[in-house]
Amino acid sequence: MNPCACGYNGDRSGRCRCTSEQVRRYQSRLSGPLIDRVDLHVRLQSVDPITLQADKPPSQSTTEVKHRVHSARERQLARTGCINACLTQKDLGHAARLDSTSQRFLEAAVRQLGLSLRGHYRILKVARTIADLEGVDTLGEEHLAEALQYRAMDQMNPGSLN
Ligand SMILES: [Zn+2]
């Protein structure tokens, strides 16, 4: 989805001339309950064609990433017999156990963003997956913070999901 009708809202080029009211109206076309079901919202900047042409090696090879994803899935299957996306709330409670500091951090973020209970569980699943991709057993605040970062559209319209 574009950030606004012209597609350039937030772009470094400053080409967007949409008013904040127009942007709000455009973004509200996606309902809160629909946004709530999308785990990863990532804002992309336009890419300078010259940068694309530059012959830079990627920071990680496709083979490395494939291996990391495979290992993460293996961890998930070994832990609960299913991948994180399919965890029930009860199994998620075991797989994504939080210490009291992380629990407080998550609760504060959920309150601030006005996330639903579903959104709350989705953050936990994404955070658990981020930790699995790192090969880490203990879920920490840094994993929650990264998962919350991927909820950019909730942050544009905090409280819009209830
Ligand atoms: Zn615009």
pLDDT tens-place string over residues 95-117: 999 999 999 999 999 998 888 88
Nearest-angstrom CA–CA distance, 148 and 105: 11
Predicted pLDDT of residue 1: 82
User: Distance from the CA of 8 to the center of ligand 1, in angstroms?
Assistant: 5
Predicted pLDDT of residue 155: 62
Predicted pLDDT of residue 159: 45
User: Distance from the CA of 6 to the center of ligand 1, in angstroms?
Assistant: 4
pTM for the model stands at 0.78
User: Distance from the CA of 10 to the center of ligand 1, in angstroms?
Assistant: 8
Predicted pLDDT of residue 162: 36
CB 147 within 8 A of CB 115: no
Nearest-angstrom CA–CA distance, 34 and 50: 36
User: Distance from the CA of 149 to the center of ligand 1, in angstroms?
Assistant: 23
Nearest-angstrom CA–CA distance, 113 and 84: 23
Predicted pLDDT of residue 3: 86
Predicted pLDDT of residue 57: 72
Nearest to 16 by CA among 30, 29, 2, 1: 2
Report in angstroms the alpha-carbon separations of 48 from 2, 12, 13, 54, 94: 18, 11, 11, 10, 45
CB 26 within 8 A of CB 4: yes
Predicted pLDDT of residue 160: 42
Structural domain spans, the chain: 61-156
Predicted pLDDT of residue 96: 94
Q: Please spell the DSSP secondary structure of 113-161, one letter per residue.
A: HT--HHHHHHHHHHHHHHHHHHT-SS--HHHHHHHHHTBHHHHHSTTTT
Predicted pLDDT of residue 135: 95
User: Distance from the CA of 20 to the center of ligand 1, in angstroms?
Assistant: 9
Residue 41 phi/psi, 5° resolution? -105, 115
pLDDT tens-place string over residues 123-132: 999 999 999 9
Question: Which residue ranges of the chain lie beneath pLDDT 70?
Answer: 154-162
